[in-house]
Amino acid sequence: MDKTLFLSLHCADSLKPKIRYVVETFAAVLGRGVVETEAPLPDGAPGVWYGSPAEAPSLPAGWAGFHAAPDAPAFFAGDQPRRAGEVHFARWGRRRIPFLFPPHPADPAASQLLPWLACDAPGRHFPWDVLASAFYFLSNREELLIPDRDRHGRFPYALSLAAQLRLEKPIVDVYLDLFIALLNRAAGGSRPPLEIPPWATGVPFVVCLTHDVDEVRKPFLSRLKFTCRHLLRPANGHRRTPLGERARFALGTLVSRRDPYWTFPTFLAWEKQF
């Protein structure tokens, strides 16, 4: 079976790489690659059409129409983060789903997503700009726009939009669920529903390695401080290490400019192996 998700972008040029990034991220979770096209969809293939509903009021079978908010290009070109009071909401069952931009005004059913998803009109455009909203959270754009940092130089989560909205579930996961539901709705039963692929059968557990890299190259004074401390007052785990080994380790760090615990090659080897 072909593992392609087709994409057709009808929006401002400045917005296209952002939307493409979101669609590629979501498609990767589904185990699919993304191909941009203006041609008709192959039979049974899923497609994402992003643009103004006025440009294509009714889409051909298979295309899921995603509304492109007209305010999105100007917002992303600006230097202001989105605040909680500027967010719009729709209900999806018991959940209130936040969106950065208002819905398309021509769709009176936009505030309730369950009835909207259940309606028998596969070519109808989804009235909320879920893809531009997803880009804001995926890219952590607010970290570039809000200068505040904690004593460790990190962006405080309390200032984030997710914290202000008191989101209980990662919002991008919710957008992904909605994205999949819209693609399946557009198919109208012409193909098996898209699902996130399960892990291989018989696998008792799965480990996902994540890497939080703060400093790949440490400045000289930081390395000098570490060298002196490691030789004179080592941490508990190194106190029984012979002085000669500690000296080679510390001086190697000072000369190589590397983080003292340079384990990136090991992590990469583990990922390839497992």
Strand ranges in 52-163 using DSSP code E only, listed in sequence order: 63-67, 88-92, 95-99, 125-126
pTM to 2 decimals? 0.77
Give the number of other CB atoms < 10 A from CB of residue 102. Answer: 16
Tell me, what's the pLDDT at 58?
79
Distance between CA 54 and CA 67 in Å, rounded?
10
Q: Which two tokens stand for residue 98?
A: 């936040």
If DSSP codes are grouped into helix, strand and coil, which group holds residue 96? Answer: strand
pLDDT in tens, 128-170: 999 999 999 999 999 999 999 888 778 999 999 999 999 989 9
Q: Which of 73-77, 117-121, 125-129 has the highest mean predicted lDDT (pLDDT)? A: 73-77
Tell me, what's the pLDDT at 132?
98
**Residues 15, 150 contacting (CB under 8 angstroms):** no
What is the pLDDT averaged over residues 87-111? Answer: 88
Domain definitions of the chain by residue range = 4-187, 220-273
* Percentage of the chain lying above the pLDDT 90 cut: 48
**Mean pLDDT over each residue of the chain, to the nearest integer:** 86
Distance between CA 162 and CA 87 in Å, rounded?
11
What is the pLDDT averaged over residues 164-177? Answer: 94
* Percentage of the chain lying above the pLDDT 70 cut: 87
Strand ranges in 78-119 using DSSP code E only, listed in sequence order: 88-92, 95-99
Residue with tokens 């909605």: 178
pLDDT in tens, 241-262: 777 777 777 777 777 666 556 6
Distance between CA 36 and CA 56 in Å, rounded?
17
Distance between CA 224 and CA 110 in Å, rounded?
60
* Burial profile 225-252: b = 16 or more Cβ within 10 angstroms, e = fewer: ebbeebeeebeeeeeeeeeeebeebbee
Sorting pLDDT into bands at 50, 70 and 90, what band is 214? low
